[in-house]
């Protein structure tokens, strides 16, 4: 009897909403519709409280560690929207005026958004 090498690969995907070593956010269960948005919202909710008035776009990008789900521009104002509650369809808007955080607001999205 001869045994030929046997290998196994163990990958640790980590919990939903966690960021893996490659910098990707883990999605919710794969059978959930829009699993990545769910995972993003969990991650965003854990770090959004670190955002404060006066921070630069670079500071915010460093804290959030990924691009906003939505972006809007109007004159000298730029807003970045991050989903912070998948269940409640809540998006948190970080508004920049002159390249610094000027406000944070929350918006409940409707089904058609």
- pLDDT for the residue numbered 28: 82
> Domains in the chain, please, with CATH?
41-108 (3.30.1450.10)
The whole-model pTM stands at 0.77
Give DSSP secondary structure letters for 16-42.
Answer: TT-B-TTSPBPPS-TTSTTHHHHHHHH
48 burial via Cβ count (<10 Å: 0-12, 13-18, 19+): middle
Q: Spell out the alpha helix ranges (H) of the chain.
A: 35-47, 57-64
How far is Cα 48 from Cα 63, in angstroms, rounded to an integer?
Answer: 8
Per-residue confidence in pLDDT tens, the chain, 113 aa: 554 544 443 345 678 888 888 888 888 876 567 788 889 999 999 999 999 999 999 999 999 999 999 999 999 999 999 999 988 999 999 999 999 999 999 999 886 65
């Amino acid at each position: 009897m001869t045994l030929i090498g046997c290998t196994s690969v163990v990958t640790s995907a980590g919990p939903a909403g966690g960021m893996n070593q490659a910098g990707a956010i883990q999605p919710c269960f794969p059978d959930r519709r829009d699993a990545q948005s769910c995972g993003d919202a969990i991650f965003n909710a854990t770090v959004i409280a670190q955002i404060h008035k006066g921070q630069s776009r670079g500071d915010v990008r460093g804290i959030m560690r990924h691009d906003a789900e939505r972006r809007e521009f109007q004159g000298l104002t730029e807003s970045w929207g991050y989903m912070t509650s998948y269940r409640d369809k809540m998006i948190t808007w970080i508004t920049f005026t002159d390249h610094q955080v000027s406000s944070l607001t929350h918006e409940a999205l409707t089904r058609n958004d």
